Amino acid sequence: MEEIASGIWQALKLIGSLDPEVRRIALFSLQVSGLALLLAAGVAIPYGIWLAFSRFPGRRVLIGLTYSGMAFPTVVVGLIVFLLLSQQGPFGILGWLFTPWAIIVAQFIIAFPVIASLTMSAILAINPGMRLQLRSLGATRTQATLALLGEARVSMVIALAAAFGRVVTEVGAVIIVGGNIAGNTRVLTTAIVLETRKGEFAAAIALGLILLLISFTINIIATRLQGRALAR
Amino acid sequence: MKAFGKNVGFGWRVLLTLVALPAILLPATACFQGAERSLVLTTTTSTYDSGLLDHIIPPFEEEHNAHVRVISVGTGQALAIAARGDADVVLVHAPSLELQFVEDGNGVRRTYVMYNDFVVLGPSDDPAQASGLSNGAEAFRRIAESGAKFASRGDESGTHVKEKEMWSEAGVESVESQDWYLSLGQGMGGTLTTANELGAYTLTDRGTFLARKELNLVIVAEGDERLFNPYHVIMVNPDKYIQVQSELAGVFIRFLISPDTQQRIADFRRDEFGLSLFNPVHLEETP
Amino acid sequence: MSDTIYTLDRLVKRYGEREACNIASLEIRRGEALGIIGPSGSGKSTLLRLLNFLEPQTSGTIRFLGETYDARASVSLDVRRRMTLVFQSPLLFNTSVLNNVAYGLKLRGVKDAKTRASDFLQKLGMESLAREHPSTISFGETQRVALARALILEPEVLLLDEPTANLDPYNVALVEDLMQRNLREMGTTIVLVTHNVFQARRLADRTALLLDGKVVEVGPTEQLFSEARDPRTRAFLGGEMVY
């Protein structure tokens, strides 16, 4: 207990003094996960929308696969990305292994099914009568689709928040494909692993507090939005 | 979106600020541009976690305008990554694995850089009565006989390889199946923390142990020549992997054994502990 | 120009094997309020969706304002925008009441849609609801907002599906008042589906009884109530089980 208390005290001092290394790592984490999220959202949201609106044979299978993607162990994602990006692998030529791009690729893969599934289920959760209601008020097909997406927008923001929380706190995949290189691929989670391994618990706690702050903020936003969405 | 803007405005704004803005700025930041040249070094946790590499590498980076990207893992993983051509140079401490690595055509120019030694740690009440021994194998034998807990790295690291050698020296067989034997699959730091919490015996390099002042574990056996711990640097074979930065790697190897660097290795944290954590082998005077 | 707005001819709608609607012939006159009564499952809602051109019929034709539409006809946006349907369970959009009421105007490219929606709510005495979110208003208020959202479009045809189902008498009176005032002002044609025969009697000029998707009898409301020809009509109006 004493150790945790003094650790937290030292951690607060580290944060309070705006230790440049701690700040850099925190900012870098946000940047990498943010970029991964944006890229994933750019593909996963249209995919989720398409899956929700389209009708074709095999759609149910695809939906099932997308949902189960959320349960895919992140460390296995890390292993697969490692093997793909390795010099021995098919994408070794890119030279992305042990660079921020490798982390972005891994986080992209982790975020994709979360965003796609939640987007899809948000749209499917809208009352099926809503499209008729919109058409009846004089909406064209496109206008009705846009309005339906508008109805699902809160859930989509929640999907983004959930995916961001998942990737920014992910450690297994990031350490495998990024290598936890100082000043290059070290993010909050891998830095915590390193500091713990070194027995530098104060530094680990400082980084942990920042990570908590980030994921709490994201969660609070998501909960607030969800509160509104459910209050309907 | 405009028609519906009102009640999610806040969430959007926060999310944008928190996520999108830094993300867009990312490609502009330094880590994406990098130095002119970079060298990927896979190494063991003991050299990196102790701070040694942060102490000796900066002059190299400055002098050659290159960035050394250090990936610190167990020796087994360090060699495995290198054997796939994903590193340029390795700095490890498991002679038998290193020789195999070179023999397989994966590495060239294996060069001796420094050494330290392994020590056997245990709880201060020493249930195995192994303390004060200078015969490392005897210490391992007593631990096995007493059935006291032993925490193993279990990760094919240099330390783990050495530990397996010691068990076989001690004539203890199929140690992995004993219930007092804990195979952790963790780095040295994690293993020390676990052994400390459980009051278990363990094997560690001296450097990592000295750097961890908060531990309750004490040295029970040391000084056996079999506990000697040499570190070698090896260049990944550029004939096998054309992308290896062989020129820069060669410069790096020469740099490690240069008098200046060797002196920095000898000086590293010496004032703090009263002795060197790592002993250079290319200096005339011994510390 | 005839005073008939809709003419239905052998209009059939099937969902798979099930025949939801099969109307041999029905005329709806411009400016009238036509009540459609019948037990649940008699095809009333299906009929409204067909009249709104929300889904194509299986066979038969709908003649609307001089144009005849068969099962494969494409109905222009302009025609569809002359009518609107207020659904039985009102679905408000997840945004303010004001935005809900302005939505149809925005679709039609009206620039000051919000101002007009605001004025309209004021005219209906509902201005206090304008900034509310649908999640915070009562069911009766929701129903009135849904009606306002339709009325502001000044449709030539207003299709109402059980607009007062599940409402308390006070709110029923409010909604009926809202309908009647606008009916008089704009000369709107109203098709009112209701299972409440008394409501039909209060509001409808003519009333039709639908059973199993077929029109059993149609005529001036008072005449239907006082001297229905078909025994099934008499039974239904008398509150007996028709099946």
Tens of pLDDT, residue by residue over C145-204, are 998 999 899 999 999 998 888 778 888 888 888 778 777 677 889 999 988 888 888 889
Residue B105 pLDDT greater than 70, yes or no: yes
Half-sphere exposure (CA, 13 Å, Cβ side) for C111?
Answer: 0
Confidence class for position A201, pLDDT limits 50, 70, 90:
confident
- CB–CB contact A31 B193 (8 Å): no
In the prediction, which pLDDT does C125 show?
86
Q: Between A and B, how many residue pairs show a Cβ–Cβ distance under 8 A?
A: 122
Tens of pLDDT, residue by residue over A157-177, are 889 999 999 999 999 999 999
Which of B15, B43, B55 should one mutate to test binding to chain A, selecting the residue with the greatest count of A CBs within 10 A?
Answer: B15
Nearest to C91 among A130, A138, A229 (CB): A130
Least Cα separation, residue A135 to chain B (angstroms): 17
Global pTM reads 0.79
Residue C1 pLDDT greater than 50, yes or no: no
In the prediction, which pLDDT does B20 show?
64
Residue B8 pLDDT greater than 50, yes or no: no
Least confident of A104-118, B96-110, B186-200: B186-200
In the prediction, which pLDDT does A154 show?
83
Least Cα separation, residue A217 to chain C (angstroms): 24
What rounded mean pLDDT belongs to chain B? 85
**CB-based contacts of B18: which residues, under 8 Å, 6+ apart?**
A30, A34, A214, A217, A218
* Stronger pLDDT, A139 or B21, i.e. the higher one: A139
Nearest to C84 among A138, A147, A151 (CB): A138
Tens of pLDDT, residue by residue over C76-112, are 999 999 999 999 888 899 889 999 999 999 999 899 9
Confidence class for position B27, pLDDT limits 50, 70, 90:
low
DSSP C16-84: TTEEEEEEEEEEEETT-EEEEE--TTSSHHHHHHHHTTSS--SEEEEEETTEEE-TTPPPPHHHHTTEE
- CB–CB contact B6 C96 (8 Å): yes
Residue A102 pLDDT greater than 80, yes or no: yes
Burial class of B105 by CB neighbour count within 10 A (0 to 12, 13 to 18, 19+): exposed
Confidence class for position A3, pLDDT limits 50, 70, 90:
confident
- CB–CB contact C136 A231 (8 Å): yes
Least Cα separation, residue B223 to chain A (angstroms): 25
Q: With the CA atoms of B16, B19, B21 and B27 taken in that order, what torsion angle do they form, in degrees rounded to the nearest 10? A: -150
- Rounded mean pLDDT of C42-54? 92
- CB–CB contact B7 C133 (8 Å): yes
In the prediction, which pLDDT does C2 show?
57
Least Cα separation, residue A189 to chain C (angstroms): 38
- CB–CB contact A28 B31 (8 Å): yes
Q: Computed over its alpha carbons, how large is the radius of gyration of chain A?
A: 21
In the prediction, which pLDDT does B285 show?
54
Say yes or no: C6 contacts chain A, CB-CB below 8 A. Answer: no
Confidence class for position C14, pLDDT limits 50, 70, 90:
very high
Least confident of B19-23, B120-124, C55-59, C80-84: B19-23
Residue with tokens 């990305």: A81
Tens of pLDDT, residue by residue over A21-56, are 888 899 899 999 999 999 999 999 999 999 999 999
- CB–CB contact A100 B241 (8 Å): no
In the prediction, which pLDDT does B219 show?
93
